[in-house]
Amino acid sequence: MNVLDEYGTDPEAAIATAAARYSNWNRWGQDDALGTVNFLDDEVRSGAAALARRGASFALSLPLDANGPQNGWRRRVNPVHTMMSTGQDTAEQMGMPHGLTAADDAVFMPLQCGTQWDGLGHVFDHGIGWNGRKGAETVTSEGDSATGIEHLAAPLVGRGVLLDVGRALGGEAGELDDAYAITTDDLRATIDRQGPTAQIRRGDIVLVRTGQLARVRRSLARGEGWGTYAGGPAPGLSFGTAGWLHGSEIAAIATDTWGFEVRPNEFPGSFQPLHQVALPHIGLLVGEMWDLEALAEDCAGDGVYEFLLAAQPLPFTGAVGSPVNPVAVK
């Protein structure tokens, strides 16, 4: 069913309807800071360890450097890397004994400028955040006092599953067109095509490959830059997948696109409406700009779409998002 047929054309009404249907508020108590990551418990984690059969590892992060995809929207810039001391410095300059010198460096970067997690304090619905908390009280200039990203530094190791929707539905190129809205039926069709190792279980970390990053990489190779990757048209999840995201009881989801959901968004005049349901109401951790290409090639080669995935955020106290270097091990 077309999402506009299901929800109508008013995004505010659609968000309110989906929020009421799929809320997880108080499911894990009033003080909860983990949201759906609660599904990724010790039993799920220990079972996932057995998925590292071959020992092949895949880093799923974009490089963090000045050549990244950011274009300055909402002051999001690419990382600025500065050397504070280098191999050109001498021991005399540094005041160090017996010829010892050292190199040190520093980085300035928005925490959501590359491969990253959106934390539960990142998005609000009419000022209300995860578990019904008032955003004005919990996320201040001091940071997120309730659901800071540091709470997720330990638990995000578990069973990862790749849903390569690009290969399943994107024709010969294996890529979905920009503005393609991935439906629940598309997700199910991809799972059916990939077979038993792609079946989704409670507590999984689901990775959705659209193929957009592969297309952008060809543009980069031609010297044409990132184009509108950061914020422009993109394939992504339809608003209509909110029920699947809730009912599947997954721990988290990540995509190879800037914004996780389809862009332009499906409702006229809307901006990221699925975020407005997924984060503050479902409590679902959302990852964006993940590099799934090498992993997808391997999965297509051996037909195994499940793996051990370690995807912990950096524990910046009170942060509402974090860079991450996810590593999948098969």
102 CB neighbour count, 10 Å cutoff: 12
pLDDT at 89 over 90: no
Q: Which CATH number fits domain 3-76+107-329: 3.50.30.50, 3.40.640.10, 3.40.50.1860, 3.60.20.10?
A: 3.50.30.50
Give the sign of the dihedral formed by CA 168, CA 323, CA 242, CA 227: negative
Look at residue 104 and give its three-state secondary structure.
strand
Measured between alpha carbons, how far is 27 from 111 in angstroms, rounded to an integer?
Answer: 29
The band of 306, judged by pLDDT with boundaries at 50, 70 and 90, is very high
Measured between alpha carbons, how far is 48 from 97 in angstroms, rounded to an integer?
Answer: 49
Measured between alpha carbons, how far is 236 from 11 in angstroms, rounded to an integer?
Answer: 17
pLDDT, residue 93, reads 83
* Domain boundaries, given as residue ranges, for the chain: 3-76+107-329
Q: Per residue in 271-291, pLDDT tens?
A: 999 999 999 999 999 999 999
**pLDDT > 70: percent of the chain:** 100
Look at residue 161 and give its three-state secondary structure.
strand
Helix (H) / strand (E) containing 236: strand 236-237
pLDDT, residue 209, reads 98
Instruction: Give the residue-averaged pLDDT of 79-95.
Output: 88
Bridge partner list, 285: 252
Residue 74 backbone dihedrals phi, psi, to 5 degrees: 50, 35
Q: CA separation (Å) from 67 to 64, 113, 116, 220, 223?
A: 8, 11, 16, 10, 12
Q: Are 211 and 176 in contact (CB under 8 A)?
A: yes
pLDDT, residue 7, reads 94
185 CB neighbour count, 10 Å cutoff: 13
- Tokens, residue 283: 């409590």
pLDDT, residue 99, reads 87
pLDDT, residue 50, reads 97
Mean pLDDT, rounded, of the chain: 96
Measured between alpha carbons, how far is 78 from 224 in angstroms, rounded to an integer?
Answer: 17
Instruction: Give the residue-averaged pLDDT of 102-131.
Output: 97
Bridge partner list, 208: 163, 255
Residue 234 backbone dihedrals phi, psi, to 5 degrees: -160, 150
Measured between alpha carbons, how far is 235 from 245 in angstroms, rounded to an integer?
Answer: 17
pLDDT at 90 over 90: no
